[in-house]
A and B are shown apart, each in its own frame.
Chain A
Amino acid sequence: MSSAVGEAPARARAVALPASRARGIRRRSLGGLPGASRPSLIARLLTMILLGAAVIYFMAPIVWLFIASTKNAGDLYSTPAFSFADWNLWKNIADVSTFRDGIFWRWMLNSGVYSVLGSIATTLVSAMCGYALAVYEFRGRSVVIGAIVGSLMVSGTVLAQPLYLLLVQLHLNDSVAGILLPGLVYPFGVMICYTAARASVPREIIEAARIDGANEYQIFFRISLPLIQTGLATVLLFAFLGSWNSYLMPLLVLNNNDLYPVTVGLASWSQQTNSDPHLATLTLVGSAMSIAPLIATFMLLQRYWRGGVASGAVKF
């Protein structure tokens, strides 16, 4: 979306030039083109209603969750859903934080460690492989590419069961390594890095660096990685979210409560609410606490994820 200031000269030029030449100019907005039909009032009204309904549908559950987490258990069931009652947020947070010796924060920490460490390592592994496939000609290259493309069809859920059997054999079940190591394999990430390296690492730069005496690893880390930043950001975002959202794999692999990520922990609280109704409010407040950091990050970094999803999806 170009700014209004940027648009104005382009518009002026388009009007001034003959149509055949104006086609060659890349512009974002068509608003000023003479003869462009303005949508009718009804069309605009319908659009507004549709978008308004969408905003309500997507935001209402999140807004409700945060309002509900400020209420005590009694008010939760007796006061109107979207209005505030007595401010009980801090006490609720304290309740969640102290329940079973603060297990909630342990789970949050685990999720953070699995997702942050995991996504950084996954991005590096994917970048190394994608870059090597894009830049070098070597024996076995086509086999690796074929395997990667083929594995995009294999779904994670299908792999989870035999992966669990394998981890048991390797004595890696119920361990942090059992969660982190399988996460390093991210064929889609390799594809993204491969396309990024093809598009934005020119051969001439590599040749020039070689002549200047840089070795292949220096070229990769110092020159190529910065050039494929956007691709790396996409892989990092998807790997992070994949790990942060994962549920089936940790549920299968982990028995030890202390190693649970927050998804598995909260779901286990929710499943115990039948025997302990107190856990319903803890689950609710815990859910709000668990998504707050990510929602805040998403709001702050909108510019980046929009670019990231765009590049990942269009180049796929």
Chain B
Amino acid sequence: MRSAPYVLIAPFVVTFAVFTVTPIIVALVSSLFRVSRSGLGFDDGPTVRFAGLENFAMALGDREFLGGFGRVFLFGIVQVPIMLGMSLVFALIIDSALVRWKSGVQVAMFLPFAVPGVVAALLWGFFYQPNVSPVVQLLSSIGIHADFLAPGTVLWSIANVTTWSYLGFNMIVLYSALQAIPRELIEAARIDGASGRRIGLSIKLPLIAPSLFVVLLFSIIGTVQLFSEPTVIQGITSNINSKYTPAMAIFATTAAGNDLNLGSAMAVIVGIVTTVLSVIASRVNRRVERSFS
């Protein structure tokens, strides 16, 4: 049956062509056109015209849209290293033999991954609102008046939500990679007199570099796409505008602003930025891996 492989790949290939390849083409084409409305009432419908790079110029001239990039960039260089660093520390601790209640700690850390980002943001939202928050109440009882929703702090309050949601997942991925290291390697190093810290840094870390790269890549892509958490927290504070992150700007322009062409141009820009970041990350990874081998 020579047709079998084609029949088996058909469902994926067809849906992939329709729902992944076509949208990319749609975005590229749509971003090059504009719809003009006569706006006088007695119109003959909106007219579509070729606009060249006009939408891109508009998007790049939009300070709020660019501000969103600045914000997720700041978020990324602070939150991603903290989250991955802590994931690594916890994975190494749990992997080392000295912890007794390993599985309990793992479950506690992984459980937030079962909570949708929207619900995590709603939940932490209650912790940020002074009238109900146990944290704000606790802090104020010792004389600290914390405002988690102020213009300067709300970004880090969002960072806390995503850290809470994904740290455990990243930890489990790194822990699994650590578990896959042949034990005789570590044993040999120990016989040669290497200390626990030395083994961690010189043997375990280089060996799990590929997994570390995977979680780094996912985290970078996730950061550029930041949408659910700020959108939900927007409901409880006025310090998050509708274009707070690039993804929110795409949504606001498309759904509320009803400017589909400009929305597409923004999506294309975000797509290019994500791809460039992924490529840079994989280059750096390759260089790091080479230096280890």
Binding site for B on A (CB under 8 A): 1, 19, 22-31, 33, 35-37, 39, 43-44, 47, 50-51, 54-55, 57-59, 61-62, 64-65, 68, 76-77, 80-82, 124-126, 128-129, 131-133, 135-136, 138, 141, 144, 147-148, 151, 153-166, 181-182, 184-185, 187, 190, 215-217, 220, 241, 244-245, 247-248, 251-252, 263-264, 266-267, 270-271, 273-274, 283-284, 287, 290-291, 294-295, 297-299, 302, 305-306, 309-310, 313-314, 316
Query: Are A248 and B190 touching (Cβ within 8 A)?
Result: no
Cβ-neighbour of A27 out of B114, B169, B183, B221 (below 8 A): B183
A291 to chain B: closest residue by CB? B115
A54, B105: Cβ atoms closer than 8 Å: yes
Query: Does any Cβ of A come within 8 Å of B48's Cβ?
Result: no
- Give 11 pairs: A residue, B residue, CB < 8 Å, sorted on A: A31-B97, A39-B196, A58-B109, A61-B123, A76-B132, A77-B132, A157-B247, A159-B20, A159-B24, A305-B110, A314-B180
Q: Mark B1-33, 1 if CB is under 8 A from A, else 0.
A: 100111111011101101111111011001000
Q: How far is the CB of B89 from chain A (nearest CB, A)?
A: 8
Are B187 and A33 in contact (CB-based, < 8 A)? yes
Determine which of A151, A215, A264, A273 lies in contact with B1 in the assembled complex, contact meaning CB atoms within 8 Å: A215
CB pair B24 A55 closer than 8 Å? no
Within residues 265 to 281 of chain B, which ones have a CB less than 8 A from any CB in chain A? 266-268, 270-271, 274-275, 278-279
Q: Is the CB of B250 within 8 A of A136?
A: no
> Which listed residue (A159, A220, A291) contacts B114, Cβ 8 A?
A291
User: Are the C-beta atoms of A185 and B99 separated by less than 8 Å?
Assistant: no
Residues of B with C-beta under 8 A to A283: 122
Say yes or no: A182 contacts B19, CB within 8 Å: yes
- Pairwise interchain contact A54-B90, C-beta atoms closer than 8 A: yes
Question: Which segment of B58-66, B151-159, B225-233, B285-293 sits at the interface?
Answer: B225-233
Check B239 for interface membership: any CB of A closer than 8 A. no
- A181 partner residues in chain B, CB cutoff 8 A: 15, 18-19
A263–B177 alpha-carbon span in the complex (Å): 32
Render B185-227 as a binary contact track against A, CB cut-off 8 A, 1 for contact.
0111011000110000000000000110010000001001101
Number of interface residues of B (CB under 8 A): 107
Flag if B264 contacts A162 (CB, 8 Å): yes
Q: Are B109 and A154 in contact (CB under 8 A)?
A: no
Other-chain residue from A57, A124, A166, A263 in contact with B164 (beta carbon distance below 8 A): A57
CA distance A252 to B267 in the complex (A): 14
Contacts of A33 on B, CB cut-off 8 Å?
187, 190-191
Q: Is B73 an interface residue (CB 8 A)?
A: no
A-B pairs with lowest CB-CB distance, top 8:
A81-B134, A310-B176, A216-B4, A162-B27, A129-B12, A132-B8, A136-B5, A162-B23
With A81-B134, A153-B275, A158-B270 as contacts: A309 and B6 at CB distance below 8 Å: no
A25 to B185 alpha-carbon distance, docked (Å): 11
Q: Is the CB of A309 within 8 A of B173?
A: yes
List residues of chain A with CB within 8 A of the CB of B96: 39
User: Most B CB atoms within 10 A — which of A43, A47, A290, A313?
Assistant: A313
User: In the bound complex, how far is the Cα of B201 from the Cα of A275, in angstroms?
Assistant: 55
Residue of A whose beta carbon sits closest to that of B23: A162
Residues of chain B within 8 A (CB-CB) of A187 are 16, 20
**Contact between A252 and B251, CB atoms less than 8 A apart:** yes
